[in-house]
Structure 1
Amino acid sequence: MDRLNNTVRPYAWGSTTAIPELLGTDPTDEPQAELWMGAHPGAPSRLDRGAGPVPLDGVIDGDPGAELGAPTVARFGPRLPFLLKVLAAAAPLSLQVHPDLAQARAGHRGEEERGVPADAPERNYKDANHKPELICALTLFEGLCGFRPAAAAADLLDGLGVDGLKPYADALRAQPEEDALREVFAGVLRADRAELAPTVDAAGRAAERLGTTGSPHAGDYAAYGALARTWPGDPGVIAAFLLNVVRLQPGEALFLGAGVPHAYLDGVGVEIMANSDNVLRCGLTPKHVDVPELLRIVSFTPAAPEVLRAGPDGGYAVPVDDFRLYRHDLDEGHVTVETPAAGAGPQILLCTDGSAELTNAAGEHLALHRGESAFVPAADGTLHATGSGTLFRATTAA
């Protein structure tokens, strides 16, 4: 078992206080958006086995079988297949979507063959992997996820009373549902930004006003109004009206699969994802928006967000093998966690409240306090945890 030293990413949308509070450090007055725990080459965690700090990806490269376990190497190759984060959003993230594995492989191969530089702003596929993800709330957490039914989206737009939105509302009612959502989504993102900006801003002002009324949609309108304040004139604000607003209570989680448009709006959560950088942005960003590629990737099937709760073993059920996330509430003096046997897979453990004492099969001990994390190699065997607090455990499918 190895204590991790992790990197904080200072993205502009991040909270200035949430991650420092978790880590017990002083705020810097700069945004601290994500705490990364894993072996992603962009910001690998570091550990010290007696010869000084070394990056986790280098440790894994040295002996993938011992660090990851033979099943993990056989399934995913000699790399840690997941990345664990603490995400602290004080402003909305971009509206985005991720490809499935086949789309990622084809898209990456195509851009490589065309010679698109890896750091080019128009590059869509940084790697050949998919990027499913799960967010588990530590605080009240708000986001957007998946399309509303077309008729419900039309009603929401009509409720704003903005003349410029009437063609979109009419189009949502004029065709089969998925065709209607595709047409309006594409039409908004292809519109001339300067021409659409007055409609975006009028919609935002109307949403803010309706967000303070007793309307059954007041909470959703308030969320859209906040989006419009943050991104004035951005066509993505209108696209966001087509999506469901979802609110998670602490301990609740949301899985985001391929093709599902989404955006995190506000709150702090533990996020786990496949080890990939493949993001196609749909709006709420100054970065490149590739509308033709989006229309190939986005799923226009309406679906209400499914809020997940931990099962009896503390795990959140997800339909991918790249990762599993478990949330354990520890009781002082009791063995509460028994993780897979030796060789089954690597693990990262994060204490978000209180403290935990970890013991591996060799009888070695490691104490984790709030904000601290550890890497447990597959070779370490069954792990026991005791303590009082909350412990998150990230691993792969058994």
Structure 2
Amino acid sequence: MDRLDNTVRPYAWGSPTAIPQLLGVEPTGEPQAEMWMGAHPGAPSRTDRGTLLDVIDADPRRELGERTVARFGPRLPFLLKLLAAGAPLSLQVHPDLTQAKEGYEDEERRGVPADAPHRNYKDANHKPELICALTEFDGLCGFRTPAHAADLLDGLGVDSLKPYVDLLHAQPEEAALREVLTAVLTADPDEMAHTVAAATTACDRLGGAYTPYAGIAHHYPGDPGVIAAMLLNHVRLQPGEALYLGAGIPHAYLNGLGVEIMANSDNVLRCGLTPKHVDVPELLRIVRFEPGDPGVLRPEAAPDGEEVYDTPTDEFRLSRYVLAAAGPAHDLTLPTPQILLCTAGAVRAGEHALTPGTSVFVPAGHQAEVSGAGTVFRATVVA
């Protein structure tokens, strides 16, 4: 079992205080957005044996287990993060596995440089993800029904939004959402900037359901993604609640601290709320225009105390244990690789004492026992 030394990424949208507060250290004054736990080449965790990427590369079958290597290849299939949003992230979607393979092969064939700002596909993998709130957590997830989106836009009283309101009343619903998102993202930039400015003023005046969008608009003045965001469900997670984000589901995180787990991929198609490249035709190919409830997940308790966040993804499985001081130790040994992350209290994982924000890697088949008083998240795979 290896204690992990993890990199914190200082993205501009990160909270300067949330991760330091969890770790019990002084803030640096700079944003601290994500702490990565895993073997992603961009920032692999460090261990006494070297980086986790190098440790796994040296003997993938010993570290990951035969089942995992047979199913996913000689790499850790997931990346675990602490994510601390102090400002809205970009509005984005991720491709499914077939789309990712096709997109990656096409860009490779066309010779698009890997670091080109207009490159969409960094790898050939999909990127389903799950975010579990540690604090109250705000986000956007999936499309509202067109009728609800029309009511929200109409309520702003902005004349230039009226054509979108009319389009949203058309049928079928998926075609209406596609037409409106296309129109928003391809509108004249100057005209859209005026529309967004008027919508921002109205959001500030109205408050209530418009408050989240006012905050987004002030962070991204003039961005068409502000209007696109109003087509989506606003979700406020309470601690312990989660959202699963499958392929093609537009989403954005707005504010809060959470545990995030995802398949090991960098593939992102952006819809707005970003200065980065937005490839509208490719985006429209990937987005699923299916309105509905965002589907807040709550963990399902097993008899041994494990609380599982059930998702349809095999590359990762996230669960948690809420341990009591007087309770028994829990045997977490599995034939698959694991990362154990403490988020509250003081717990013991094998020979390692864990406090909030600290984590360990458990090789496949290695004995793993946890005890103490606190909360431990367990990340592994379904194999």
Same fold (TM over 0.5): yes
Q: Does 1:67 align with 2:59?
A: no
Q: Quick one: which of 333, 341, 345 aligns to 2:336?
A: 345
Matching of residues 168-187 of structure 1 within 5 Å: 168-187=164-183
Distance of 1:256 and 1:174 partners within structure 2: 27
Equivalent residue number for residue 318 of structure 2: 325
Q: Does 1:282 align with 2:281?
A: no
Please report how far the alpha carbon of residue 393 of structure 1 lies from its aligned counterpart in structure 2 after TM superposition. 0.7
Q: Which residue identity does 2:246 align to in structure 1?
A: G
Distance of 2:281 and 2:328 partners within structure 1: 53
Distance of 2:82 and 2:352 partners within structure 1: 21
Q: Does 1:113 align with 2:109?
A: yes
Distance of 1:126 and 1:48 partners within structure 2: 30
Equivalent residue number for residue 10 of structure 1: 10
Distance of 2:330 and 2:70 partners within structure 1: 26
Q: Does 1:380 align with 2:371?
A: no
SS of the equivalent of 1:174 reads coil
Equivalent residue number for residue 234 of structure 2: 245
- Contact kept, 8 Å, 1:335 with 1:384, in 2: the verdict is no
Please report how far the alpha carbon of residue 336 of structure 1 lies from its aligned counterpart in structure 2 after TM superposition. 4.9
- Contact kept, 8 Å, 1:322 with 1:397, in 2: the verdict is yes
Q: Which residue identity does 1:374 align to in structure 2?
A: V
Q: Which residue identity does 1:142 align to in structure 2?
A: D
Equivalent residue number for residue 92 of structure 1: 88
Q: Does 1:229 align with 2:222?
A: no
Matching of residues 75-154 of structure 1 within 5 Å: 75-154=71-150
Q: Quick one: which of 346, 361, 369 aligns to 1:355?
A: 346
Please report how far the alpha carbon of residue 328 of structure 1 lies from its aligned counterpart in structure 2 after TM superposition. 1.1
Q: Which residue identity does 1:122 align to in structure 2?
A: H
SS of the equivalent of 2:308 reads coil
The superposition leaves residues 322-347 of structure 1 with CA deviations (integer Å, 9 ceiling, x where unpaired) of: 00111111111423533243xx2100
Q: Does 1:392 align with 2:377?
A: yes
Q: Quick one: which of 199, 202, 211 aligns to 2:198?
A: 202
User: Structure 2 length as normaliser, TM-score?
Assistant: 0.97
Equivalent residue number for residue 19 of structure 1: 19
Please report how far the alpha carbon of residue 195 of structure 1 lies from its aligned counterpart in structure 2 after TM superposition. 1.5
SS of the equivalent of 1:32 reads coil
Equivalent residue number for residue 48 of structure 1: 48
- Contact kept, 8 Å, 1:117 with 1:123, in 2: the verdict is yes
- Contact kept, 8 Å, 1:153 with 1:172, in 2: the verdict is yes
Please report how far the alpha carbon of residue 397 of structure 1 lies from its aligned counterpart in structure 2 after TM superposition. 1.2
Q: Does 1:299 align with 2:285?
A: no
SS of the equivalent of 1:307 reads coil
Please report how far the alpha carbon of residue 16 of structure 1 lies from its aligned counterpart in structure 2 after TM superposition. 0.5
Distance of 2:63 and 2:364 partners within structure 1: 5
Distance of 1:287 and 1:350 partners within structure 2: 32
SS of the equivalent of 2:68 reads helix
Q: Which residue identity does 1:353 align to in structure 2?
A: A
- Contact kept, 8 Å, 1:99 with 1:130, in 2: the verdict is yes
Distance of 2:104 and 2:256 partners within structure 1: 32
Distance of 1:315 and 1:339 partners within structure 2: 13
SS of the equivalent of 1:126 reads coil
- Contact kept, 8 Å, 1:144 with 1:246, in 2: the verdict is yes
Please report how far the alpha carbon of residue 10 of structure 1 lies from its aligned counterpart in structure 2 after TM superposition. 0.1
- Contact kept, 8 Å, 2:133 with 2:237, in 1: the verdict is yes
- Contact kept, 8 Å, 1:333 with 1:386, in 2: the verdict is no
Distance of 2:30 and 2:271 partners within structure 1: 27
Q: Which residue identity does 1:269 align to in structure 2?
A: G
SS of the equivalent of 2:365 reads helix
SS of the equivalent of 1:315 reads strand
- Contact kept, 8 Å, 1:91 with 1:230, in 2: the verdict is yes
Distance of 2:85 and 2:55 partners within structure 1: 31
The superposition leaves residues 288-311 of structure 1 with CA deviations (integer Å, 9 ceiling, x where unpaired) of: 000000111000010211111111
Please report how far the alpha carbon of residue 317 of structure 1 lies from its aligned counterpart in structure 2 after TM superposition. 0.2
Q: Which residue identity does 1:231 align to in structure 2?
A: Y
Distance of 2:330 and 2:218 partners within structure 1: 45
Q: Which residue identity does 2:26 align to in structure 1?
A: D
Q: Percent identity?
A: 68
Equivalent residue number for residue 362 of structure 1: none
Distance of 1:26 and 1:139 partners within structure 2: 19
The Cα RMSD (Å) is: 1.0
Q: Which residue identity does 1:375 align to in structure 2?
A: F
Distance of 2:252 and 2:204 partners within structure 1: 19
Please report how far the alpha carbon of residue 84 of structure 1 lies from its aligned counterpart in structure 2 after TM superposition. 0.4
Q: Does 1:311 align with 2:297?
A: no
SS of the equivalent of 2:328 reads coil
- Contact kept, 8 Å, 2:333 with 2:369, in 1: the verdict is no
Q: Which residue identity does 2:178 align to in structure 1?
A: R
Unaligned runs of 5+ in 2: none
- In the TM superposition, structure 1's runs of 4+ consecutive aligned residues that sit over 6 Å from their partners are none
- Contact kept, 8 Å, 2:82 with 2:260, in 1: the verdict is yes
